[in-house]
Amino acid sequence: MISPQTWLRTEGLQANKALGQNFLKHPTVARSIVEKSGIGSDDIVVEIGPGLGSLTFPLAEAARRVVAVEKDAGIAAALARRLAETGVSNVILHTADILRCDWEQIIDEATRETDSNRVVIFGNLPYNISSPILVKLVEYRSRIDRAVLMFQKELADRLRAKPGGREYGRLTVLLAFCATVVPLLSVPADSFYPRPKVDSEVVDIRFPKPEPYRVSDEAALVRVVRAAFGNRRKTLKNSLTAGLLGWDGQHIEALLAGIGIDPLRRAETLHITEFIRLSEAVSEKMSEMPR
C-alpha cells in the first residue's frame, strides 16, 4: 500500500477538506478492519468513498465482488489506474455522489449474476454525509445484510446510546427499531492523512430478520422522531406541536396522555417502544382526519 502522501503527490492531487477526505495510511489498520468485519468469499460489497483504496484492495482480496462509489473524479481516476496496474478484476468503480445515486440500481449491479440480492455496505464516512447515509441504510435495509462503517467516535457513540443521555437522538431511534449496532474496533486519529481532530470507530450495523420491532406505519415513525428531536430543549408536547404541522398543543397533549406518556417529558427520555406507540397513535389520528 503506497502512502497517501506519496500517492497524492505523484498524481498531482491533494485531500479535499470540503469532502472530508482523511485517508487511512497504515495498511495493517485497513486489513484489521476488513478481517474483523468478517467479510468472506461469498460477500458482495458496496464501498462508499473508497478514496485511494486503502480498504478497497483488502476488500477485493476477501470478497466476491466490490462496487466502489467515489465522488472525487481525480481520486477515482487515480484509484482506477492503480486497480488496473495491480490486476484487480473484481472491483467495479463508479465516479458518482452516493447520496444522488439510485441505490436499488447499485445493488442490482453488485448482485448481478449471483445467487444473492443483498449486499454489505462498507466505508470510512466523512462526518458531513454520515447522517444521510444512515437514513439511506434504513430505507434500503431489505437489500442490505449489514453495514460496516467507520464514523467519528462521537457519532458512533450516539448510534448505540441509551435513553436519557445527550447522545441519544434521532439516528439512535431510527436504527434501534430495525438494527443492532456492534462496535468492532477503534481507530486513532494518527492512522489517517490528513490527521483529523478526533478518533474514529468502526461499527457493524446489522439488520436482523425478523426485525427487533414491528411498526405498521414507518413514515409516521420517521415523522414523529424527526419532530420530537427537532427541538431537544423543549418538552415533548412543544416539540411535537412545532414539528407536526397542523397539530395544536391541546391535541398533542391529549394524544400523549391517551397513550400514557407525560407531555412534559423530553424526546431523549423515550424508549423505542414508546416512540412506536406514539407513532401508531399519530398514524391512527391522521387516518381519521378529513382529506
Q: What's the whole-model pTM score?
A: 0.93
pLDDT of 106 > 90? The answer is yes
- Is the preceding peptide bond at 208 cis, omega within 30 degrees of 0? no
Question: Mean per-residue pLDDT for 25-30?
Answer: 94
Question: Mean per-residue pLDDT for 236-263?
Answer: 91
> Which stretches does DSSP call E strand in the chain?
23-24, 44-48, 65-70, 91-95, 119-124, 144-152, 180-187, 192-193, 200-206
Determine which of 8-12, 181-185, 237-241 has the lowest per-residue pLDDT on average.
Answer: 8-12
Q: Which three cell numbers mark 185?
A: 474496533
Question: Mean per-residue pLDDT for 279-283?
Answer: 94
Q: What is the pLDDT of residue 109?
A: 95
Residue 1 binned pLDDT confidence (cut-offs 50, 70, 90): low
Domains in the chain, CATH or no CATH each: 4-206 (3.40.50.150), 218-288 (1.10.8.100)
Average pLDDT of the chain is 93
Q: What is the pLDDT of residue 291?
A: 53
Orientation of helix 272-288 relative to helix 218-228, angle to 10°? 110
Residue 289 binned pLDDT confidence (cut-offs 50, 70, 90): low
Q: What is the pLDDT of residue 232?
A: 82
| Residue 71, φ and ψ in degrees, nearest 5 | -75, -35
Q: What is the pLDDT of residue 11?
A: 87
Q: What is the pLDDT of residue 176?
A: 94
| Residue 199, φ and ψ in degrees, nearest 5 | -75, 165
pLDDT of 2 > 80? The answer is no
Question: Mean per-residue pLDDT for 33-49?
Answer: 97
| Locus of grid cell 454489505 | 120
Q: What is the pLDDT of residue 102?
A: 97
What is the tens place of the pLDDT at every residue in 73-82? 999 999 999 9
How far, in Å, CA of 83 to CA of 86, rounded? 5
Q: What is the pLDDT of residue 245?
A: 65
Question: Mean per-residue pLDDT for 103-116?
Answer: 95
Residues near 234 by Cβ (< 8 Å), separated by ≥ 6?
242, 266
